Structure 1
Amino acid sequence: MRNWYVLVVLILCISMLLGVTKIGFGAGNIEVGEYYNLSDYEKLTGKKITKFGEAPQLAELVKQGKLPPVEQRLPKNPLVVTPYEEIGQYGGTWRRTWSGLSDSAGPYKICSEHLVMFNKDGTKIIPNVAENWKVSRDAKVYTFKLREGIKWSDGTPLTTEDVMFWYEDILLNKELTPTVPTWLLAGGKPCKIEKIDTYSFRVTFEEPSPLFLISIGKMGGGHTFFAPKHYLKQFHPKYIPKEKLDEFVKKEGLQNWYQLFSNKNDFLQNPELPVIYPWRTTTPHTVTLQIMERNPYYWKIDPAGNQLPYIDRITHMLLQSGETAVLKAIAGEVDMQERGLALADYTLLMENRVKGDYRVLRWPQGTGASPAIMLNQNVKDPVLRKIFEDRRFRIALSLAINREEINQLFYLGLGEPRQASIISGAPFYDPEWEKAYAEYNPKKANEYLDKMGLTKRDKDGFRLRPDGKTLAITIEYSGDRPYMEVIKKYWENIGIKVALKPLERSLYVTRARAGELEVGVWGFDRNVAILSDPGHLLGTVAEAPWAPLYGTWYTTGGKGGEEPKGDIKKIYEFWDKVKVTGDEKQRNRYFKEIINLHKKNIWMIGLVGEVPQLIVVKNNFRNIPDGLLWDDNIRSPKNARPEQFFFKK
């Protein structure tokens, strides 16, 4: 498995070192699957794009006088998307499945547009809604220029009026945004945004904020930094009388105006919301078949000047009881699907490729552990807390796990037995951390527990705690995790009694966030571009509760949770330095100290990592690569540029 994984990463790295990958339509030295300002594309290739094409259905609307010509719908400097295989063909319906609004990340990660974006492998920031930007030497001031001429899906121009509306009336409104996201803070204060002109604005921080751009690449999706003022102001008390707003709230069956506003600002819940996405919702999210139609004002083109997207519409079929994405794929009822597919489905999917007329792609995930087991350092039982805080206990549990056996039994041998650590090939990968206490050595595990003084046993052979009670732990988790029975066996073999408690996801998250779990289970993902979202390393990911109350203390500035101590407090101190250090080398040294603390303490116990993400793709569904990195931080599959997918006729 490692050979395949490393080969993919090496190919990506070689491409980066060479700086380019040539593509087959005469475009010159540019990368496939990337974004370029038209002006930059023309400089790089020497090719001028002076004529623009559009989908036949839009051309017909232009002919009928119902839509402006494509030249008037595109911005002055469109964004060029270089296709992975070839210039596409217009038309078709992309069929997918989903589980309803709880599965909203599926449609969002296909459509969402950020002010700036990560490139396809998360190694640098590239233009998107912002055509260009400047950063002050002290990383306190960022000046952005919007792509002039971008229009919302109803034809209204996107301007800095929409930026200021988002800033003044959404971000700074306490009812809509009770807590400003930490990535928009510096020195404990929110950033300040000023309008310069119709298309330029300035963002200023109290202290240096050198990670701001990469934070936008991860966090800045949806309507972040801009929102359609011309539409949303009708639901905001600053712009309409209270009596009228109350009528709207009552009509929708809600209690407060901010609930109404939030619903109206969600493109899945509100088909009327103007967007700048490649597709816009045209049906309520409650229907059996949710439909998204192409946005006639989308602002990206291919190298031939054709307005994107190629695909006319996307449908999301609501899965009914007993239905799964796998069964729909086998039946040939989906065209490209990744959500709802697990590695356990791999054999079944491969066996039915001819029947379903599809291929199965494998993208290496940016997941260092699938999953990690996390001992809650804030566990409420004081005796158990003292045991959990002793790194020897965590090391013993790690050594008791036969990772190779788990990989073969539950991952078809396609994963990599490893500690919960950053994936190989990514920045900050540490081979020592990957191997730390990851060997199967139950004898050594027993020795660690004995040295802790946990030598006495009860009548069933389980170890006793210092207070004389049986050393028993409860592992809570959500989802189908059959390997947990094997973990129970491993740990009971070294004298620790284990109870397994599967939970519905929302209940699991609630209990994890409140610090009520003893042991939780979640994946250590988001390894690609990890500086954009280091939550797993900080203990601030709700589902990954190795330090939930310490994480709350940190994210609330000490107003909630529990103040950390020792090495965990050092993590926050180093991260605070990372956030304000402009010198990249020094910043990376601080972050490496966080890695070293995790390597020493093993707060997250990994089983198997670097597991591929399966993607089922119809054979006529093209311009989608195999082997691209998959990670939440780079909004996969958005990093494959879905707007350039097409059906080959």
Structure 2
Amino acid sequence: MISRRTALQIMAALALPGLARAGGTGFSGSPMLDELVNAGILPDVATRLPEKPRVIDLKAMGREPGRHGGTVRMLIGSQKDIRLMTINGYARLVGYDENLELQPDVLERVDNEGDRIFTFHIRKGHRWSDGSLLTAEDFRYCWEDVILNDDLRKGGLPRELLARDRPPRFEIIDQYTVRYSWDAPNPNFLPKLAAPQPLVIVMPSGYMRRFHKSYQDPFRLSALMKEYRVKKWADLHIKMSRSYRPENPDLPTLDPWRNTVAPPAEQFVFERNPFFHRVDENGLQLPYVDRVVLSLSTPDIIAAKTGTGEADLQINALDFADYTFLKDSEKLFPVKVSLWKRTQGSRVALLPNLNCADEAWRDLLRDVRMRRALSLAIDRREINLAAFYGLARESADTVLPESPLYRDELARAWSAYDPETANRLLDEMGLTQRNSDGIRLLPDGRKAEIVVETAGESTLETDVLELVTDHWREVGISLFVRTSQRDVFRSRAMGGEIMMSMWTGLDNGVPTADMNPSQLAPTADDQLQWPVWGMYYLSLGKKGKPPELAEARRLVQLLAEWEASALPADRTRVWGEMLDIYTDQVFSIGIVNGGLQPMVHATRLVNVPDKGLFGFEPTSYLGVYKPDTFFLREEG
């Protein structure tokens, strides 16, 4: 039975024009909803679906058409991980398929004229999870009342909505058609709509108006601010509209499942969206599974709980180190374990902070010879065998062979084990003096001691750094490890307190030329090798500092060229030059990539691929594999 909260929202929506019960189907809904349909609380499935739902041809994908019903259990390490449902649910205006090609999803069609003019055709009859229609008004509200509102967007428009620093022209063509037009190309627009944390350009306006000062009575708005413990109406609107981390159970959604539990909680129950827009080739409305239950657990024991059958679908919070235990669990519990390939440019990477506050070390780390020497001094073969059983690929931090942009010379760039050349480069820099322990001395007389900081979230990092410590000592560099919590870790990096950190490499190791290459340039404050330069770009020059290295400036220039490009050949050229610079300059010291990721699911959960690409970008974890098509086979 669907939750009382959901039923009440749908009952309220029954008063909306156009939401009446219709006869005739050709479509099938979940039996979970039959009682509400029979009671007249919920329209039948033909009315709940758009006039032209998105049809998922499972047979063409090599999967089975499924059945409705059941609950899937997942484990999360913190309450904020409810965002995994938004990422994995992966309902987007446009989204990637398994081949990483863009397809209309929520939208019926997109007309793209030279990456300058985008006309969006909304599916007629498409509804939010509360039954209200999705129309052009929801796009207008988000554009005029949210994005252009100074109280709600103090930092100005998102960069993704600018082309040559100019915003688009927004037009409503009719109730189901809107258009965004720029004078220059904006190739970043559609990929950002397809991202794991998508650019938000549409909101359920009927619901959100009650939290907006332009539409709500001031006294009622004041009461709502007091109820939700915020001091400004803008904070209230932001809190109630947060879709990426769906903490507001009342917020209508377009996702396959919607949260029914407000935090704090130990368990979050996501119920099927009765108005979800996808069907299979047999006319069964997706998702197949009625509920997904996320249970809070201590991160350290998620692998153990998964292995004993306490999760029906688990990939996040697992690591390759858990694989042997999980594989053994197949003999005792009804679980199946497979290995997917991680998409990062490097499973672990050393990131020298070119903005560190220590002037002596900042100068050294900005010298490409230091970065190349540190990379050449690492015996990646030993690390691969010891930490990854030889199953990963020794490589620089770069794109994977699965990317059409891959070139073998990029993987080899400064990644061979060559301590002789490393020593020569360090000597060339003037670091010729050593103490009695063989550690090199800096120009100011200090020992060449590099402190590598981590967020302390994985024993893998510690294991790798132990080996790197021995490798660097051979070339006269001493390494020390310091761990701190993730939030503190990032704050210290921004403040220049971190000299070097260990993190993953490039987030998207399987890009196409049509995907934004911003990960190769200083563009964000969470890029640990240049956070201050990244903040400068992110804030449009209001904070941080511009890049002081010519090669970093060139990367930013090339990114601008990509953003102004309209031809695939131009984008491919830009990607190629940016990859050349990034790997040759060793802005990130990659170690291995192509690492394997355990995927565990209950044996009765069907349509989970045996192989896949796992990463935040561009696959949105499980998102491109459409978990709404996974189903539970009847037992017995």
1:416 equivalent among 393, 402, 418: 393
Match of 1:167 in 2: 143
Match of 1:558 in 2: 541
1:86 and 2:64 matched: yes
Match of 2:7 in 1: none
Counterparts of 1:73 and 1:319, CA distance in 2: 36
Counterparts of 1:582 and 1:152, CA distance in 2: 34
1:101-140 matched pairs, under 5 angstroms: 101-122=79-100, 124-137=101-114, 139-140=115-116
Asked whether the equivalents of residues 397 and 583 of structure 2 are also in contact (C-alpha less than 8 Å), the reply is no
In the TM superposition, what is the alpha-carbon distance from 1:365 to its structure 2 partner?
A: 1.8
1:622 and 2:568 matched: no
Asked whether the equivalents of residues 518 and 559 of structure 2 are also in contact (C-alpha less than 8 Å), the reply is no
In the TM superposition, what is the alpha-carbon distance from 1:541 to its structure 2 partner?
A: 4.6
Counterparts of 2:354 and 2:35, CA distance in 1: 63
1:241-252 matched pairs, under 5 angstroms: 241-252=217-228
Percent of counterpart pairs with the same letter?
31
Counterparts of 1:243 and 1:499, CA distance in 2: 58
AA matched with 2:540:
G
In the TM superposition, what is the alpha-carbon distance from 1:596 to its structure 2 partner?
A: 1.1
String of CA shifts for 1:434-471, please: whole Å, max 9, x gaps: 01121112222111111211100124321111222222
In the TM superposition, what is the alpha-carbon distance from 1:153 to its structure 2 partner?
A: 1.0
1:522 and 2:503 matched: yes
Match of 1:504 in 2: 485
Asked whether the equivalents of residues 329 and 356 of structure 1 are also in contact (C-alpha less than 8 Å), the reply is no
Counterparts of 1:166 and 1:326, CA distance in 2: 41
Asked whether the equivalents of residues 336 and 616 of structure 1 are also in contact (C-alpha less than 8 Å), the reply is yes
AA matched with 2:71:
T
AA matched with 1:643:
D
TM-score, normalised relative to structure 1:
0.89
Counterparts of 1:424 and 1:219, CA distance in 2: 22
Match of 1:548 in 2: 531
1:634 equivalent among 602, 615, 619: 619
2:256 equivalent among 256, 267, 278: 278
2:435 equivalent among 450, 458, 464: 458
Asked whether the equivalents of residues 188 and 516 of structure 2 are also in contact (C-alpha less than 8 Å), the reply is no
The answer to which of 395-404 and 173-182 deviates more is: 173-182
Counterparts of 2:38 and 2:184, CA distance in 1: 54
1:426 and 2:403 matched: yes
The answer to which of 361-370 and 203-212 deviates more is: 203-212
Runs of 4+ in structure 1 displaced over 6 angstroms?
Answer: none
Asked whether the equivalents of residues 55 and 307 of structure 1 are also in contact (C-alpha less than 8 Å), the reply is yes
Counterparts of 1:192 and 1:517, CA distance in 2: 43
1:230 and 2:206 matched: yes
Asked whether the equivalents of residues 50 and 305 of structure 1 are also in contact (C-alpha less than 8 Å), the reply is no
1:493 and 2:469 matched: no
Counterparts of 1:121 and 1:285, CA distance in 2: 36
String of CA shifts for 1:295-330, please: whole Å, max 9, x gaps: 11111100000111111101001114x762211112
Asked whether the equivalents of residues 89 and 310 of structure 1 are also in contact (C-alpha less than 8 Å), the reply is yes
The answer to which of 57-66 and 224-233 deviates more is: 57-66
String of CA shifts for 1:57-78, please: whole Å, max 9, x gaps: 2233212212111111110110
Counterparts of 2:482 and 2:524, CA distance in 1: 20
AA matched with 1:625:
P
Counterparts of 2:523 and 2:560, CA distance in 1: 14
1:261-300 matched pairs, under 5 angstroms: 261-266=237-242, 268-300=246-278
Aligned CA RMSD, in angstroms, stands at 1.8
SS of the residue corresponding to residue 190 of structure 2 reads helix
Counterparts of 1:192 and 1:325, CA distance in 2: 48
SS of the residue corresponding to residue 359 of structure 1 reads strand
Match of 1:484 in 2: 465
Counterparts of 2:75 and 2:83, CA distance in 1: 12
Asked whether the equivalents of residues 87 and 196 of structure 2 are also in contact (C-alpha less than 8 Å), the reply is no
2:591 equivalent among 566, 582, 607: 607
1:306 equivalent among 267, 284, 303: 284
- What number of residue pairs does the alignment pair up? 597
SS of the residue corresponding to residue 324 of structure 1 reads helix
String of CA shifts for 1:534-584, please: whole Å, max 9, x gaps: 343113354431122222222223222222231110111111011111111
Structure 1 pair 292/136, CA: closer, same or farther in 2 (3 Å)?
A: same
In the TM superposition, what is the alpha-carbon distance from 1:502 to its structure 2 partner?
A: 0.8
The answer to which of 527-536 and 300-309 deviates more is: 527-536
Asked whether the equivalents of residues 520 and 545 of structure 1 are also in contact (C-alpha less than 8 Å), the reply is yes
Structure 1 pair 515/188, CA: closer, same or farther in 2 (3 Å)?
A: farther
Asked whether the equivalents of residues 512 and 542 of structure 1 are also in contact (C-alpha less than 8 Å), the reply is no
1:320-339 matched pairs, under 5 angstroms: 320=298, 324-339=301-316
AA matched with 2:633:
K
AA matched with 1:151:
R
String of CA shifts for 1:493-517, please: whole Å, max 9, x gaps: 2111222111101111222234432
1:360 equivalent among 330, 337, 340: 337
Counterparts of 2:516 and 2:25, CA distance in 1: 40
Counterparts of 1:528 and 1:82, CA distance in 2: 25
Asked whether the equivalents of residues 106 and 277 of structure 2 are also in contact (C-alpha less than 8 Å), the reply is no
TM-score, normalised relative to structure 2:
0.90
SS of the residue corresponding to residue 498 of structure 1 reads strand
Asked whether the equivalents of residues 357 and 495 of structure 2 are also in contact (C-alpha less than 8 Å), the reply is no
Counterparts of 1:220 and 1:384, CA distance in 2: 35
